[in-house]
Amino acid sequence: MSGSRPVHTLDLLRWPILGRFLKWRHARTALQVPFLLAAALIVFDGLVGPQLAPKNLATVSVWLHYRGLVVLALLVAGNLFCMACPFMLPRRIARWLRRRLWRDGRPVPRIVRNKWPAVVLLVLFFFVYERFSLWASPWWTAWIVVAYFAVAFAVDATFRGAAFCKHVCPVGQFNFFGSLISPLEIKVRAAARCAACRTKDCIRGPQGCELALFQPAKVGNMDCTFCLDCIHACPYDNIGLIGRTPTAELWTDPFRSGIGRFSRRFDLTLLVAVLIFSSFINAFAMIGPVYALREQIGRWLGGPAPTVDLALIFGIGLVVLPGLLLAAAGWATRRSLPAPVEPLTAVIGRFIYALVPLGFGMWLAHYSFHFLTGGLTLVPVVQSFAADVGLYQGAVEWGLGPLTPGEWLFPIEALCLYAGAFGSLVAAMQIAHRRLAGETTPDLAWRTVRVAAPWLILILALLIVGLAILVQPMEMRGTFQGLSG
Amino acid sequence: MVPLLHRAARCGRGRGHSRRRLPPRRWIVVLLVFLMAGCGRMQPTGAPQDGFSLTMAAQPSPPVVGDGQLIVTLHDPDGRPVSDARLQVEGNMNHAGMKPSFGVITAAADGQYTVAIRWTMGGDWYVDIKATLADGRVIARRLPITVHVR
Ligand code: SF4
Ligand code: SF4
Ligand SMILES: [Cu+2]
């Protein structure tokens, strides 16, 4: 039997200690509980602690550590945050209530059984984040955490399945997006075992995947929360946490269980587009030129209009420009495709995945910057917190701050972006190559380049834009509107 | 418990929420966290009622990233300059991730204190100034300032 089993060189569930831990029935809970405690501390300090972002546990741990570590985990492993997600703990009560009182609740209404709610929430969040400088407010940061718990609870107490994770949670969508480039995947070990399986517990069983991912037909990391349910569900121990070529899942467009084909999911195309282009907007919003631009827009409008000028920047940077760029690249690629040629939205829906590594690289660069400049500020913040609640008597080391010398920051950021761009160039070529599969012209290599060319150009252009943003010194403003005018 | 909660309502506010009353759900959260840790973490930062005037001006103005100076001026409620206060000056950025910059007093005369301070990054800063008077009273202010990138 073991002879028919493909030997996965890397399967974390087969590792001695880690594997045993992850296969333990309460592994996820054990990971969630510390995060739940951290969330409680964040809410506490955010609401009643010092209202100064660099000195409050809420702002420091959410905007520096959580974001920095999330992208790092996605880069070196996978969707580890969802695996340890504390929002899912109270949700268990919600699920219990739903099953008890609601006869398992309602199915998610058809019109929102997609990524639209998440797209709307993500854009709204990014906008509110900049407009009201959420990063500067411990109080608002705490409320975001509370709101997360409340909404996750309400959604999952009402609807069947993992409605919140799959359709609503903006953090989850970011993680799904990032995990497309991750080196690990929850995956069946031996396809033959599944073919012979009659019970299909991984989807039908009481612990079957709530995100509707049926293991034998599951492809890649999209929508997978690394919750480990399927691992416990499979009676044949046929599911692993398996290594793979990072970004390779972007190259193909098979039918994916619980998702369908990427290129036929316009909502998913939009979600990915938002996450790619907002990586640039989000970084652009914290450098000097954005303030000059906003002031200029204010002058055109005849006076400061912080909501309108930001809405204009978002409208242009997140809707108009991406729309035009993607349409132009898709149109140009479409012209060089052999018949039968798919509709423009399908071409964009196929090739946009080539931009994922670059978009992720930009998030990685930006969040690493914050994490590396201020990672150690958590130490004095925790010390002062402990001192305030009477648990620490020593000196508070306010002198601690950066994790790396300042001169390293730009090279590290640039490296993240270059690596992303490289992954994107490879993905664009791979997608083009696969689209031309079966063509037998002698100049196939050249034709592949021609099909991919618009995307290669777009990737290089975005790389330059990204570098131009990262090379600027950081200059976060925008919190004094109510103070000094 | 109720007086404690009232204190929470006063200390636990965010910027710009000074006069808002707590909605019911927040009471629950505040109540819960109180049971956990007590009131030691709170920082009252309401509008000062001490009558003193404590202002600052940057040199150069506007301040730019690098070594800079603050001229802090302190007057008592009768408008007389106070020159013998012990000043503590601490600058913090408005976002997480930067360590505080502590000011060094280099001169004091006629109620004017010259403070050397290093602006480590462009953007919005809050300068916390604490003046301890000869009689032990403490005058404290948090003043915003925007530091420009050269
Ligand atoms: S329960 Fe296990 S063996 Fe059966 S289909 Fe699912 S993964 Fe395969
Ligand atoms: S496939 Fe489904 S059950 Fe398995 S880890 Fe992913 S989300 Fe959880
Ligand atoms: Cu930033």
The domains of chain B are located at 4-39, 53-147
| Chain B residue with the nearest C-alpha to that of A386 | B41
Which residues are near ligand 1 (CB < 6 Å)?
A: A 188, 193-194, 197, 200-202, 215-216, 234, 236, 238-239
Q: Which chain B residues are closer than 8 Å to A48 by Cβ?
A: 8, 11-12, 30, 33, 39, 41-42
Higher pLDDT, A118 or B49: A118
Query: Do A398 and B65 count as a contact with CB atoms less than 8 A apart?
Result: no
| Chain B residue with the nearest C-alpha to that of A57 | B96
Looking at CA atoms only, how far is residue B134 from chain A in angstroms? Answer: 26
Q: What per-residue confidence (pLDDT) applies to B5? A: 35
Indicate if the pLDDT at residue B31 is higher than 80. no
Rounded distance between C-alpha atoms, residue A43 and residue A139, angstroms: 8
pLDDT band at B32 (very low <50, low <70, confident <90, very high): low
Do residues B147 and A291 lie in contact, with contact meaning Cβ atoms separated by under 8 Å? no
Query: Do A44 and B26 count as a contact with CB atoms less than 8 A apart?
Result: no
Query: Do B93 and A53 count as a contact with CB atoms less than 8 A apart?
Result: yes
Task: For CA atoms B40, B45, B49, B53, give the dihedral sign.
Answer: positive
Distance between alpha carbon A85 and the CA centroid of its chain, in Å? 13
Atom of ligand 2 at shortest distance to CA of A227?
8
Query: Do B123 and A59 count as a contact with CB atoms less than 8 A apart?
Result: no
* Fold adopted by B53-147: Immunoglobulin-like (2.60.40)
Q: What per-residue confidence (pLDDT) applies to A363? A: 98
Q: Nearest Cα to A472, choosing from B57, B21, B149, B118?
A: B149
Q: Which chain A residues are closer than 8 Å to B30 by Cβ?
A: 47-48
Indicate if the pLDDT at residue B102 is higher than 80. yes
Ligand nearest to the CA of A362: 3
Strand partners, B59: B69
Q: What per-residue confidence (pLDDT) applies to B118? A: 96
Q: Nearest Cα to B127, choosing from B63, B77, B75, B80?
A: B63
pLDDT tens per residue, range A172-205? 999 999 999 999 999 999 999 999 999 999 999 8
Token representation of residue A362: 């930009």
Rounded distance between C-alpha atoms, residue A371 and residue A403, angstroms: 8
Do residues B89 and B70 lie in contact, with contact meaning Cβ atoms separated by under 8 Å? yes
Higher pLDDT, B26 or A127: A127
Q: Measured between CB atoms, which of A53, A474, A479 is closest to B121?
A: A474
Contacts of A174 (CB under 8 A, 6+ apart): A70, A122, A275
Ligand nearest to the CA of A241: 2
Do residues A114 and A54 lie in contact, with contact meaning Cβ atoms separated by under 8 Å? no
Domain limits, chain A: 12-179+184-244, 280-391+401-476
Q: Distances in Å between the alpha carbon of A415 and those of A64, A66, A367, A461?
A: 20, 21, 13, 16
CB of A249 sitting under 6 A from ligand 2: no
Indicate if the pLDDT at residue B137 is higher than 60. yes
pLDDT tens per residue, range B113-133? 999 999 999 999 999 999 999
Residue nearest to atom 5 of ligand 2 (CA): A226
Rounded distance between C-alpha atoms, residue A469 and residue A140, angstroms: 27
Query: Do B15 and A48 count as a contact with CB atoms less than 8 A apart?
Result: no
Q: What per-residue confidence (pLDDT) applies to A480? A: 60
Q: Measured between CB atoms, which of A52, A288, A388 is closest to B92?
A: A52
Residue nearest to atom 4 of ligand 2 (CA): A230
> What mean pLDDT comes out for the span B87-94?
95
Cβ–Cβ pairs < 8 A, chains A and B? 141
Q: How many CA atoms lie within 13 A of A459 on its CB side?
A: 28
Q: What per-residue confidence (pLDDT) applies to A389? A: 87
Strand partners, A256: A260
Q: Distances in Å between the alpha carbon of B113 and those of B102, B128, B141, B144?
A: 14, 14, 15, 18
Give percent of chain B above pLDDT 90: 61
Residue nearest to atom 2 of ligand 2 (CA): A209
- One pLDDT digit (tens) per residue for chain A, 485 residues: 444 455 668 999 999 999 999 999 999 999 999 999 999 999 999 999 999 999 999 999 999 999 999 999 999 999 999 999 999 888 888 888 888 887 777 888 999 999 999 999 999 999 999 999 899 999 999 999 999 999 999 998 889 889 999 999 999 999 999 999 999 999 999 999 999 999 999 999 888 999 999 999 999 999 999 999 999 999 999 999 999 999 999 999 999 999 999 999 999 999 999 999 999 999 999 898 898 898 899 899 888 888 999 999 999 999 999 999 999 999 999 999 988 899 999 999 999 999 999 999 999 999 999 999 999 999 999 999 999 888 999 999 999 999 999 899 999 999 999 999 999 999 999 999 999 988 888 888 999 999 999 999 999 999 999 999 999 988 888 666 433 32
Query: Do B12 and A474 count as a contact with CB atoms less than 8 A apart?
Result: no
Token representation of residue A161: 């399945």
Rounded distance between C-alpha atoms, residue A393 and residue A439, angstroms: 73
